[in-house]
Amino acid sequence: MITKSNSDVPFYILDISRLLSRSRARVPTGIDRVELEYALYLCANVPDRIEFAAVHPLGKFAILPFSIALDFVSSLAMLWDRGGHDAGAAFRLSLWLLHGIILTKTKGKQTFMRHRQQKGGRNVYLLLSHHHLTRPKLVAAAIRRHDALFVPMVHDLIPLDYPEYAREREPARHQKRIDTVVRYADAVVTPSDAVRKSLMPYFAKASRSDVPVWPVAHGVHLRALSGNKRALNQAKNAAPYFICLGTVEARKNHLLLLNIWRRLIEVHGSTAPHLIIIGKRGWENEQVLDMIERSPTLRGFVVEYNSLPDAEVVGLLSGARALLFPSFAEGFGLPLAEALALGTPAICSDISVFREVGGGGAYYIDPLDGIGWLRAIEEFAGLSGQKCPVAQVLDQGSILDWNQSIGQVLTKIEEFVGVPCVTSTPPRQIDLK
What secondary structure does DSSP assign to 290-320, as a single string? HHHHH-TTTTTTEEEES---HHHHHHHHHHS
What fold is seen in the domain 6-219+401-423?
Rossmann fold (3.40.50)
Amino acid in position 37: E
Q: Do domains 6-219+401-423 and 229-380 have the same CATH topology?
A: yes
pLDDT surpassing 50 at residue 134: yes
Distance of CA 85 to the CA centre of its chain: 25
Do residues 66 and 114 touch, judged by C-beta distance below 8 A? yes
Q: Tell me what the mean pLDDT of segment 360-367 comes to.
A: 94
Q: Does domain 229-380 have CATH number 3.90.550.10?
A: no
Q: State the sign of the Cα–Cα–Cα–Cα dihedral 184, 132, 39, 51.
A: positive
Distance CA 32, CA 21 (A): 10
Domain ranges of the chain: 6-219+401-423, 229-380
**Rounded Cα gap, residues 416 and 425, in angstroms:** 13
Largest CA distance in the chain: 73
Cβ atoms of residues 321 and 240 within 8 Å:
yes
Range with top average pLDDT, 72-86, 109-123, 205-219, 280-294 = 205-219
The residues near 157 (Cβ < 8 Å, ≥ 6 apart) are 174, 178, 195, 198, 199, 331
Report the Cα–Cα distance between both ends of the chain, in Å, rounded: 40
Q: Could you tell me which of 393, 256, 380, 274 has the C-alpha nearest to residue 325?
A: 256
Label the pairing between strands 274-278 and 302-305: parallel
Closest among 333, 298, 305 to 248, alpha carbons compared: 305
pLDDT in tens, 381-429: 998 777 666 555 555 457 899 999 999 999 999 999 874 433 333 333 3
Structure confidence by residue, pLDDT tens digits, 152-168: 999 999 999 999 998 89
Report the alpha-carbon distance of residue 301 to residue 241 in Å, rounded: 9
Determine which of 303-307, 339-343, 396-400 has the lowest per-residue pLDDT on average. Answer: 396-400
Neighbours of 381 (CB within 10 A): 20
Enclosing H/E stretch for 323: strand 323-325
pLDDT, tens digit (0-9, with 9 covering 90-100), for 228-252? 444 444 445 568 999 999 999 999 9
| pLDDT of residue 213 exceeding 90 | yes
Q: How confident is the model at residue 172 (pLDDT cuts 50, 70, 90)?
A: very high
- The pTM (predicted TM-score) of the whole model is 0.87
